[in-house]
Amino acid sequence: MFSSLRLVQCSAQSQRSIGGSYRRVLFNTDAKQFPTNKQKFIPQTGTYPVGFSAGGSHCGIKKNGKPDLAVLFSDRPTTASAVFTTNQFCAAPVQFDRQVINTARQSGQQLVRAVVVNSGCANAVTGKQGFLDAQSMAEAGDKLVSRLDGKESTNGTLVMSTGVIGQALPVDKISQGVSKLELGSTHDMWMRAAIAHMTTDTFPKLLSREITLGQSKVRMVGITKGAGMIHPNMATLLGTVCTDAAVTQELLDDALRHAVARSFNAISIDGDMSTNDTIAVIANGAASPTVISDLGSTEYQKFRDELTDFMAELAGLVVRDGEGATKFITVEVAGARSFGDAKQVASTIATSSLVKTAFYGQDANWGRILCAVGYAGIPLDTAKVNMAMHPGDGSAPLVLVSGGEPQLPVDEERASEILKQEDVLVRVELGLGNESARMYTCDLSHDYVSINADYRS
């Protein structure tokens, strides 16, 4: 199958069309086009999974001519798993993808071959027509797979949409765009796909990694998008991880649940949950002859933990691009009775507007953090609580509370030094058990209001 796919080497400014002729496109993958302070998060190269390819283009959804269509493709059937928003007004693509994933689970078959993503229109709160449009979008993906395979393929495409809610999806433009889209396995082509995911994002979010599982080298690549309406509850925003590892449906589902709880369900920017939130993992097994099938095996434990670390780093890129954000804040709660208790306390701190605005103002108002710990709803022994702020540069932390007692007077000069840094870790020790959890968040700035006040204009 793979030999039928034309892989292309593209410059940042040109792209080969399906017909074979070159044409100029408004598509630049050079990192220098993005904000200077974000360029360090944009990879210049990558290690990509065997059998996968990607591409991106402008199909006409965005009025400004920016990229708005991406396709991810596997040259062979995959095992796929996904988690979705719990927003009751879930978008049509979410409803459609649930059906695709559930059909694969129930049939025991590897069905998914492609993911088609559009940005600029969410296809959310669009009624029955929205579902039909999502279905048509998937059919365009199936037709692309059929053409590349040289034989008919159906019911093998996931779809994702992001953008303005309540507008009809221009599905004809998407279908035409998919039919003309070029795919490739180079870094440039994966970057094209990542850029095409963007809405209010200020930089593309692409990550890749190679790991060792048993005797095999396997790879992961992830693309995500999001800068606002980011708040956890079964996935957050849009994201896809592709891997050439071989793993059963049951274990992929288990690994994704574990990883999402510690990554995309552990981030918050503004407390709003999108109608379109979807995180999918697709495994095609191209790199390994042995399928991971034993829950207790060393290979599975390593795959699950590596996926978790990978997704946590990928989710962190979303927080770093939070609308108007100037700080990346890690909230770590340790010494809890259970993971759930630790995460509840961490989430309460991370979603506090008072805490987030204090970080923006570089104000060491530690009382706001301790207040959030107190109303998190977890029984405490306040005499055992410790709290400290750790700077991102690895220098000495500032202890604020020890054994429930404030460490007065607070070293305001040291606090100011820490809060001037982009990365800050808040660590709270409850002294009740051995479980811990992290949440990742950002500060809340004037720019957040400006961006969202002008979103549709």
Which residues are tagged catalytic? 236
Alpha-carbon torsion (163, 279, 190, 57), positive or negative: negative
Q: Are strands 205-213 and 216-225 parallel, antiparallel or unpaired?
A: antiparallel
SS3 271: coil
Q: Are strands 157-164 and 52-57 parallel, antiparallel or unpaired?
A: unpaired
Phi-psi map region of 410: left, alpha, beta (phi>0 left; psi -120 to 50 alpha): beta
Residues 213, 302 contacting (CB under 8 angstroms): yes
Q: Are strands 328-336 and 278-283 parallel, antiparallel or unpaired?
A: unpaired
d(CA 134, CA 126): 11
Q: What phi, psi does 161 have (nearest 5°)?
A: -135, 145
- Cross-strand pairs, 162: 119
CB burial class (10 A; 0-12, 13-18, 19+) of residue 254?
Answer: middle
Query: What tokens does 404 get?
Result: 């429930």
How far is C-alpha 123 from the geometric centre of its chain's CA atoms? 19
Cβ neighbors of 37 (< 8 A, separation 6 or more) are none
CA torsion 125-131-134-136 (nearest 10°) is: -140
Total Cβ atoms within 10 A of residue 291: 15
E runs forming strands in 226-271? 238-243, 267-268
Q: Are strands 423-429 and 328-336 parallel, antiparallel or unpaired?
A: parallel
Alpha helices in 47-201 (DSSP H): 92-107, 127-149, 171-180, 187-196
Residues 313, 299 contacting (CB under 8 angstroms): no
d(CA 119, CA 98): 20
Residues 136, 168 contacting (CB under 8 angstroms): no
- Cross-strand pairs, 121: 164
